[in-house]
């Protein structure tokens, strides 16, 4: 009964939001794709990655069509599938720029690897050595003993309120010294972003544009597409990367090509390998590296709210990029109440369907 009441209340809230949007704009509502998902169709040729990547052959098109229908029913905005560096399929609005949510963390991990190679960052330094503190309350001596590396692995032992809070429940402050306990929380990730900007004298968007977006020929990303949110809970703002599916695929390809793009090393290989090392969890568990998730199957992924996914299966040389548009403004409110969610179960099934569509062992 409680669940039913919550559903009714949620629908009432959604209808109220949609009515307000209609009254303000005086025009047709533009949100339906956020709630139900847009119609998923093959990507238009003018926005295709086919000009960048060779087309794959040896695939059962009927089975690929079934996979597209499955993701259409899930409500996804776009999907890109790459095998051995060749483009297998593209579906949907791959040029749609929307929030990556927590995929931001994996991207910032890459920026750290580049900054370390440039001699700009030392992740063995503690927060005390970096001169960092927070407010409401200030950090304790134990918390300041956390190394920057402990923040990257989400083992900082700092359970401070954050902007865009994860809404707990949090461990008791001081209950775990740094590097003794994994706890996924936005305080560490927000702090990692601010520390990067302090040590490199570059905004996150500027660094990504200069070090990754431009060298890989991204078509839609601009430095301004990293957006910040400040608040009273912490001195460290939240940040969001907004990016299209086709640009995210270019980034993800670096992780299937040993950090290289057209023969040029973009992300240091040594850092890439360290990033995908299990620092929490073992081979039988979901594990965490430097802001990347590692599955028991060997798949590693970057994942964000709603269904933002980089899904890399090194055993089968498969890369899948999935995007779900979670909107902005009134649309975000509509999505948050009743919008599409694509989860890892969808991705596992899609991966199986893709593998079954291979006609040979290429």
pLDDT of residue 332: 73
Residues 281 and 146 in one domain: yes
Residues 224 and 350 in one domain: no
The H-assigned helical ranges of the chain are 2-25, 32-36, 61-74, 103-117, 127-130, 141-144, 148-152, 186-200, 204-208, 245-256, 269-275, 330-338, 344-356
User: Residue 249 and residue 261: Cα distance in Å, rounded?
Assistant: 12
pTM over 0.75: yes
SS3 127: helix
Residues 310 and 266 in one domain: no
Residues 106 and 89 in one domain: no
Number of neighbouring beta carbons within 10 Å of residue 323: 31
Residues 281 and 133 in one domain: yes
**241-286 pLDDT tens trace:** 999 999 999 999 999 999 999 999 999 999 999 999 999 987 889 9
- Pairing of β 308-313 and β 260-261: unpaired
* Any domain includes 298: no
Q: Give Cα 210 distance to the centre of its chain.
A: 20
The domain of 194 spans: 102-292
- Pairing of β 300-304 and β 293-294: antiparallel
pLDDT of 195 strictly over 70? yes
Average pLDDT over residues 130-154: 97
Residues 183 and 288 in one domain: yes
Residues 45 and 190 in one domain: no
Q: What is the CATH number of the domain that holds 236?
A: 3.40.710.10
Residues 83 and 199 in one domain: no
Residue that is last in its domain, among 253, 271, 292: 292
Q: What's the pLDDT band for 28 if we cut at 50, 70, 90?
A: very low
Residues 345 and 249 in one domain: no
Number of domains, the chain: 2
Question: Mean of the per-residue pLDDT values for the chain?
Answer: 90
pLDDT of residue 37: 73
């Amino acid at each position: 009964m409680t669940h039913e009441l919550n559903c009714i209340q949620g629908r009432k809230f959604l209808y109220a939001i949609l009515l307000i949007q209609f009254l303000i704009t005086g025009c047709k509502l533009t949100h339906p794709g956020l709630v139900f998902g847009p119609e998923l169709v093959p990507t238009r040729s003018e926005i295709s990655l086919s000009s960048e990547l060779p087309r794959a052959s040896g695939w059962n098109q009927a089975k690929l069509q079934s996979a597209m229908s499955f993701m259409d029913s899930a409500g996804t905005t776009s999907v890109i599938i790459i095998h051995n560096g060749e483009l297998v399929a593209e579906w949907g609005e791959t040029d749609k720029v929307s929030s990556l949510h927590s995929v931001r963390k994996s991207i910032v991990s890459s920026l750290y690897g580049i900054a370390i190679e440039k001699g700009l960052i030392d992740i063995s330094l503690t927060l005390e050595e970096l001169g960092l503190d927070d407010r409401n309350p200030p950090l304790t001596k134990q918390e300041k003993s956390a190394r920057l590396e402990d923040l990257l692995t989400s083992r900082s032992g700092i359970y401070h309120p954050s902007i865009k809070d994860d809404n707990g429940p949090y461990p008791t402050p001081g209950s775990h010294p740094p590097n003794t306990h994994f706890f996924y929380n936005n305080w560490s990730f927000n702090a990692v972003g601010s520390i990067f900007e302090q040590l490199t004298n570059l905004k996150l968007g500027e660094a990504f544009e200069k070090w990754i977006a431009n060298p890989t020929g991204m078509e839609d990303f601009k430095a301004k597409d990293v957006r910040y949110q400040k608040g009273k809970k912490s001195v460290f703002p939240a940040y969001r990367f907004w990016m299209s599916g086709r640009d995210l695929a270019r980034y993800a390809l670096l992780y299937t090509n040993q950090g290289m793009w057209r023969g040029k090393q973009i992300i240091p290989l040594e850092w890439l390998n360290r990033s995908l090392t299990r620092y929490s969890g073992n081979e039988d568990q979901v594990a965490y590296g430097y802001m990347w998730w590692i599955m028991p199957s060997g798949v590693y992924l970057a994942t964000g709210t709603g269904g933002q996914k980089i899904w890399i299966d090194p055993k089968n040389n498969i890369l899948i990029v999935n995007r779900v548009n979670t909107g902005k403004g009134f649309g975000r409110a509509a999505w948050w109440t009743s919008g599409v969610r694509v989860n890892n179960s969808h991705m596992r099934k899609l991966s199986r369907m893709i593998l079954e569509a291979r006609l040979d062992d290429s």
